[in-house]
Structure 1
Amino acid sequence: MSLKKALLAATVLSLPVAAQAQPITGLYIGGGVGANYREDGGATVSVGRTTVGVGTGSVRTNWGYTALGSIGWGFGNGLRVELEGNYRNNAVRRVGGASTSGGTIHQYGAMANALFDFNFLNLNAGGVGIVPYVGAGVGYGWNDWRNVNGRSGSTQVRTDDRDGQFAYQGIAGVAFGLDAMVPGLALTAEYRFYGTLDPELGTAIRVNGATVAAGTYKPTNYNHSILAGVRYAFNAPRPAPVVAAPVAAAPAPARTYLVFFDWDRADLTDRARQIIAEAATNARAVSATRIEVSGHADRTGTAQYNQRLSVRRAEAVAAELVRRGIARNEITIQGFGFDRPLVPTAMGVREPQNRRVEIVLR
């Protein structure tokens, strides 16, 4: 596996739980709109009790549109049940072999559906949970034919009637969960096959505008719909609140400070004064009860001279501490000459780190 593929796999696997398939539990609502294709089927035509045509007189329609809304309940295991209301509309393109045709077919339906979500697949892409689902439904549907007619010369066949019949449908779709953005919200894409038993519609044959015969028209009714929709589940689990990382505690003030001096000097540099000021400030912060000031020297010169030099250096630091607000009785001063070097050296070596005063807060 290439590094690029490995990184992609790691990214997908590390997506938050909100991007995983979350089974619907409890109440939800949904809706969708799309395109509808009504199959060009045959029909049975009867006049009175006499059947005058079987599988003839087909009505062809254009692609139309469909819309639906639903309210349902999820059981938390992928199974859902819902009630649905739907509508389909198709304009008539051709009636049988007529030279001119027109009219519109409207369909209304009330359905009870059962669906199953394949949540266990745990598909996701870019933080969006992907859940395929299938379902089926039964109910009642109305065919409302409005001025559906075909004319050839002076003869016209016209159907303007409505009839309700048993309806059924099959559903296949996929939901794109947006829980990471809005818990419970999902976009859907569906295919639906919808049909009813053949409706019985009143029809009339007219010649020069006068009705010469009336009968019953029983067309087949099969529909294929493609829809895009939205669904919202009210009881979707909310993502855990983001807990702010604890603020790191401020580091404790240092208790040991080093002040360095130039060779054979006991006066304070600007940097030395800054260090002493920091020590004085922190002495109050840590409630120091005693401040030890110890002077040191490098290993050049005699022991006696360096002993006195280390004391002068300690006294210079102590004086600056007092100037910074430290009581003199809180300070102890001592000098060690070159007996305690920070960096061990031979005699006569000028070592800057050994020319120092140590401030220790107790």
Structure 2
Amino acid sequence: MTKLSLYLAFLLVLLTPPLSLAEEGRGYVGGQVGMFLPIKSSVTGDFPTGSGTLTYDPGLVLMATGGYRFANGLRGEGELNFRRVTTDKLSTAIGSAGVDGDVTCYGFMTNLYYDIPTPTVLTLYLGAGAGVVATRFSQGTSKGAVVWTEGHDVDFAYQGIAGFAIRLNDSTSLDLVYHHYAVPRLHFQPLSVEFRGLNLAAGIRHWF
């Protein structure tokens, strides 16, 4: 956790603009809601083959954001997010079985964007972010048998972002955005899981 905290502090320093830029920029707050589509992940644990893959059902993502757009097109942002999905199937070398369980994530990301204006009300943007996520895996069961017990972990997360904003008026814009989100490895006793997925979300931004 110490290394993660130092990394996030360093990233926040990088995103803090000089006062001259801040005076020319514009702040905003926003929110997004959408679908989280987890990608099949590798998993190791206390089951016969010791490793396999885990699939999930589509889930929910919620995000609250606040940031600042600078005169040069760069935009720095802080993001609070929530994701929840249910597990679908655990597959190993000896077969596969449905597994019932929930995965719940609470995260904080720092994002950096580049806005690409057009002659229309449309603004395209590309971005990337890094942060920390606290994740809970509920107990996983298959046909009444316990496959894994409940576990918690806190780890590093990162994402790539692409989207566009539609200006509704001078103070409000509509976002349609794609995130590729990843946590390299979550550790639960007795599981170790790679957790990745795609966000498809829509939201509103209010500009100051």
What's the CA shift for 1:60? 1.6
The answer as to 2:31 corresponding to 1:31 is yes
Q: Measure how far apart 1:45 and its partner are.
A: 2.4
Question: 1:112 corresponds to which residue?
Answer: 110
- Assess if the C-alpha contact under 8 Å between 1:94 and 1:150 holds in 2: no
The corresponding residue for 1:85 is: 80
Instruction: Name the counterpart of 1:61.
Output: 56
> 1:223: which partner in 2?
197
Contact 2:180/2:199 (<8 A) preserved = yes
Structure 2 residue identity aligned to 1:53 = G
CA distance in 2: counterparts of 1:184 and 1:87, whole angstroms: 26
Normalised TM-score (structure 2)? 0.80
AA partner of residue 73 (structure 1): Y
- 1:163 Cα deviation after fit: 0.5
| Residue 201 (1) aligns with residue 188 (2) | yes
Could you report, residue by residue, the CA deviation over 1:63-100 in whole angstroms, capped at 9, with x for unpaired residues? 11111011111112211101101111111222334545
Please provide the CA RMSD for this pair. Answer: 2.1
Which residue in 2 is equivalent to 1:167? 157
Query: Which amino acid is 2:106 matched to?
Result: Y
Matched letter for residue 149 of structure 1: T
CA–CA distance in structure 2, aligned partners of residues 82 and 155 of structure 1: 44
SS in 2 for 1:221: strand
Q: Secondary structure at the match of 2:41?
A: coil
Q: How many residues align?
A: 182
- Structure 1 or 2, whichever has the larger Rg, is 1
Question: Moved runs in structure 1, 4+ residues, more than 3 A?
Answer: 96-100
What are the superposed Cα offsets for residues 124-181 of structure 1, whole Å, 9 maximum, x if unpaired? 2xxxx10000100000012211122234xx85312311101110000000000012xx
Correspondence 1:130 to 2:122: yes
SS in 1 for 2:99: strand
For residues 199 and 150 of structure 1, the distance between their equivalents in structure 2, rounded to whole angstroms, comes to 21
Are the equivalent residues in 2 in contact too, given 1:143–1:162 (CA < 8 A)? yes
Verify the 8 A CA contact 1:150 1:158 in the aligned structure 2: no
CA distance 1:29–1:155, shift in 2 (3 Å):
closer
In structure 2, do the counterparts of structure 1 residues 230 and 156 end up closer, same or farther at CA, with 3 Å as the change threshold? Answer: same
Task: Write the deviation string for residues 271-297 of structure 1: whole angstroms up to 9, x where unpaired.
Answer: xxxxxxxxxxxxxxxxxxxxxxxxxxx
Asked if the contact 1:111/1:140 (under 8 Å) is kept, the reply is: yes
Stretches of structure 2 lacking an aligned partner (at least 5 in a row) = 1-23
Take 1:223 and 1:162, find their aligned partners in 2: how far apart are those partners? Answer: 19
TM-score w.r.t. length of structure 1: 0.47
Does 1 or 2 have the higher relative contact order (CA < 8 Å, sep 6+)? 2
2-structure distance, mates of 1:79, 1:109: 23
Q: Percent identity between the aligned chains? A: 28
Give the C-alpha shift of residue 224 in structure 1. Answer: 0.4
More strand by share: 2
- Aligned counterparts, 1:261-272, within 5 A: none
